[in-house]
C-alpha cells in the first residue's frame, strides 16, 4: 500500500465515522498542517457524496467551515505574537534581515485583502497567509469574509469534481497530487534561491564593513 492509498483510506474512514462534519475536521487539520493535502480530501468528499453517504451541499458547507476555523486559529497565533515580537525574533536569525519584516508588512498592507482571498486557492500558502493577517491585525470581519469566499470557491471546485467523476476518483487523485508537488517544488526552489541570495548579501556586507574599518 502506498502512502497516498493509506491516506485515502484514513480520510474515507473519518468521513464514514463522522459524515459531513468529518470533512470539516479534516479540512481544518489541513489548514493547520499544510502537508495534509486538501486536493485529495475534497474530491474524496465529493466522491462519498456521489455514493449517497452525505449530501453534496453539506460536504461543501462543512469543508468551508473547517477552512475558516483552521485559518482563524492561525490568524490568532499571528495576532498573539504581534509585529514587534516577530521583528525581534527576525533580528536574531542569521539569514533574516529585520528590514524584510518591514517590507512584508508593507506588502501585506497593500495587498492584504487580495492575498487572503486568492491565497485560499494556492496550496500551502492558504495556510500561511493567515499568520501575517493576524500579525497585522487585519479586521477579523474582513478576514473571515475573504477566507470564507476564497475557501468556498476552492472547496466547491474540488468537491464537485469528485462528485462528477465518481468512481474515476483516482484520476483526480493523480492530477491533484501532481499539482501539489509542482507547487512544493516551486516553493522549495524559491526558498533555496532566497537563502543563497541572503548568504551572498551578508558576505558582501561583511566584506564592505571590513574594508571600511581598514580604510579608517
Distance, CA of 126 to CA of 129 (rounded, Å): 6
Distance, CA of 10 to CA of 81 (rounded, Å): 34
Cell of 4: 497516498
Cell of 204: 558582501
Q: What per-residue string of b and e applies to 103-117 under the rule 16 or more CB within 10 Å gives b?
A: ebbeebeeebbebbb
Are the C-beta atoms of residues 62 and 21 closer than 8 Å to each other?
Answer: yes
Q: What is the mean pLDDT of the chain?
A: 75
Farthest-apart Cα atoms in the chain, separation: 80
The closest alpha carbon to 202, from 101, 97, 104, 103, belongs to 97
Identify the band that residue 91 occupies on the pLDDT scale cut at 50, 70 and 90: low
The predicted-structure confidence for 10-61, as pLDDT tens digits, reads as follows: 777 888 888 889 889 988 988 777 656 677 788 888 888 888 878 899 999 9
Cell of 78: 499571528
Q: What is the pLDDT of residue 150?
A: 93
Distance, CA of 30 to CA of 177 (rounded, Å): 15
Looking up cell 480520510 gives: 11
Q: Where are the domains of the chain?
A: 3-183
Cite the DSSP H helix spans in the chain. Answer: 3-18, 20-32, 38-50, 56-92, 98-119, 125-128, 130-135, 140-165, 169-215
Residue 87: CB atoms within 10 A of its CB come to 17
Whether this prediction's pTM lies above 0.75 is answered by no
The predicted-structure confidence for 100-138, as pLDDT tens digits, reads as follows: 556 656 666 777 788 889 878 877 677 778 888 888 888
Cell of 159: 468537491
Amino acid at each position: 500500500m502506498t502512502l497516498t492509498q493509506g491516506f485515502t483510506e484514513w480520510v474515507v474512514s473519518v468521513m464514514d465515522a463522522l459524515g459531513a462534519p468529518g470533512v470539516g475536521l479534516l479540512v481544518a487539520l489541513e489548514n493547520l498542517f499544510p502537508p495534509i493535502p486538501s486536493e485529495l480530501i475534497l474530491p474524496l468528499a465529493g466522491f462519498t457524496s456521489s455514493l449517497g453517504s452525505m449530501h453534496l451541499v453539506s460536504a461543501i458547507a462543512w469543508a468551508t467551515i473547517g477552512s475558516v476555523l483552521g485559518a482563524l486559529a492561525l490568524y490568532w497565533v499571528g495576532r498573539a505574537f504581534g509585529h514587534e515580537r516577530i521583528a525581534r525574533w527576525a533580528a536574531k536569525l542569521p539569514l533574516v534581515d529585520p528590514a524584510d519584516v518591514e517590507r512584508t508588512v508593507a506588502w501585506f498592507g497593500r495587498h492584504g485583502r487580495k492575498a487572503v482571498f486568492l491565497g485560499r486557492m494556492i496550496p500551502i500558502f492558504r495556510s500561511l497567509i493567515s499568520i501575517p493577517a493576524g500579525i497585522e491585525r487585519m479586521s477579523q470581519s474582513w478576514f473571515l469574509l475573504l477566507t470564507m469566499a476564497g475557501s468556498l470557491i476552492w472547496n466547491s471546485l474540488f468537491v464537485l469534481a469528485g462528485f462528477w467523476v465518481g468512481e474515476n476518483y483516482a484520476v483526480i487523485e493523480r492530477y491533484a497530487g501532481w499539482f501539489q508537488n509542482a507547487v512544493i517544488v516551486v516553493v522549495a526552489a524559491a526558498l533555496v534561491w532566497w537563502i543563497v541570495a541572503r548568504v551572498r548579501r551578508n558576505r558582501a556586507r561583511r566584506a564592505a564593513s571590513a574594508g571600511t574599518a581598514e580604510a579608517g
